[in-house]
């Protein structure tokens, strides 16, 4: 009798979890691979300077999106170290940091707002000509975690 009761409790618990699990919010979506291409023909070296995304795997970051660079070091052709904002517009943006030595480097993003809320990403950055860049990496959207500025 006791084993039947235990079996019913376990079965009932599993059934309840199976029903409730789809409605529970995921802690984070990802990580997913991402590829972004951008061109920097209008990059001036002034603060802020910008590049324009020409292709992105993530629909929340469409072609035409501006990537703004705020420094501290953006005017040296051999070294870039900068706070970066992917600005999709209308309050949809992601904040991060990029560091490049020549035409190779990394970019990381740790917060976002709007459609990019909870955006976290890590990219390897490469370029063959210093004007067109490819960001290859992974991202996740952690929409349940509030932005550090909203806590």
Whether the Cβ atoms of residue 79 and residue 100 lie closer than 8 Å to each other: yes
Q: Which residues of 2-33 are buried (b: 16+ CB within 10 A; e: fewer)?
A: eeeeeeeeeeeeeeeeeeeeeeeeeeeebeee
Distance CA(84)–CA(99), nearest Å, equals 10
Residue 150 has pLDDT above 60, yes or no: no
pLDDT for residue 66: 98
Listed by start position, the domains of the chain span 26-150
Distance CA(18)–CA(14), nearest Å, equals 6
Span 21-42, average pLDDT: 75
pLDDT for residue 143: 75
Per-residue confidence band for 144, with pLDDT thresholds at 50, 70 and 90: confident
% of the chain residues with pLDDT over 90: 72
> What helix, strand, coil percent values describe the chain, rounded to 5?
20, 55, 30
Per-residue confidence band for 145, with pLDDT thresholds at 50, 70 and 90: low
pLDDT for residue 29: 75
């Amino acid at each position: 009798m006791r084993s039947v009761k235990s079996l019913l409790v376990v079965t009932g618990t599993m059934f309840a979890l199976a029903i409730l699990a789809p409605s529970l919010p995921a802690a984070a979506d990802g990580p997913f691979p991402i590829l972004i291409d951008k061109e920097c023909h209008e990059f001036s070296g002034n603060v802020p300077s910008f590049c324009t995304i020409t292709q992105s795997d993530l629909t929340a970051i469409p072609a035409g999106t501006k990537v703004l660079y705020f420094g501290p070091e953006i005017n040296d052709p051999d070294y870039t170290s900068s706070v970066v904002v992917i600005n999709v517009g209308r309050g949809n943006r992601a904040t991060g940091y990029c560091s490049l030595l020549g035409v190779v480097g990394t970019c990381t993003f740790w917060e976002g707002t709007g459609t990019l809320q909870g955006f976290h990403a890590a990219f390897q950055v490469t370029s063959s000509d210093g004007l067109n860049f490819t960001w290859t990496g992974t991202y996740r959207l952690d929409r349940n975690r509030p932005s550090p500025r909203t806590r």
